[in-house]
Amino acid sequence: MNKDPNTIKEMFGLIAPRYNLLNRLMTAGLDRHWRKELVQKGDIQPAAKILDLATGTGDIAFVVHRKHPDAEIVAVDFAMPMLYIGKRKTSRSIIHWCAADAAKLPFPEATFHVVTSGFLFRNLHDLRQSVREQIRVLKCGGRLLALDSTPPPPSLLRPFIRFYLRHGIPWLGRVFAGKHGASAYRYLPESTLRFRTADELLNLLAEEGLIHLGKKSFLFGTIVLIWGDKEQY
């Protein structure tokens, strides 16, 4: 699939105004639960520094703030329209918004206690490079967490899930986001169906040196939350 960063950036910029609405519709609102689960698994300590990548309009970042109001949160995305919408959600400077590439983060080594991302991995041109960057900016003992969609595992429901991904989601995109939505929401299901499995993602984290790995699946195995810790030195 074409995962050229500039193409992906333009696509998400175009669908930014309807992005949250379509997330709620596609998942029947379950995406809110998944983000809360991610934050819970983050084991966030008082006054921790949190980096949220592919923040979009800040859904995970806002959950972190509500649960941990003393945390210092940096929300990063490379699609500026997404960041503008997120920043308008609050009049207070409770989150630091930053435009940056997840494969080349503008932060020093060992800056953050926790690095999170939501639906970032499957859109990356170089997933391993981004994982290395996330590990680089993590403090020793810090945790990396990623929420993403993965191909449906073998089951009686898999044909119906694949049908919904390939036909239902593009239809929703076309109805609620116009021609740009139709194109983007054809790409997003295909990027899920052609992506790595949860175990393959965990193997990647292990190969890059993370320990205490874990995963939790949702929605018949099509959504996965994975995590791992940076070793103490």
Whether the predicted pLDDT of 127 surpasses 90? yes
Per cent of the chain over pLDDT 90 is 72
**pLDDT, tens only, 203-216:** 999 999 999 999 99
What are 69-95's pLDDT values in tens digits? 999 999 999 999 999 999 998 877 899
pTM assigned to the model: 0.92
**Nearest in space to 7 (alpha carbons), one of 180, 147, 216:** 180
Domains of the chain with bracketed CATH: 5-153+196-229 (3.40.50.150)
pLDDT at 188: 86
Closest CA relative to residue 173, chosen from 21, 54, 45, 63:
21
**What pLDDT is stored for residue 92 in this prediction?**
79
Tell me the CA distances in angstroms from 139 to 62, 74, 117, one per residue in order: 22, 15, 17
How does pLDDT run across 6-50, given as a tens digit for each residue? 888 888 888 888 888 888 888 889 999 999 999 999 999 999 999
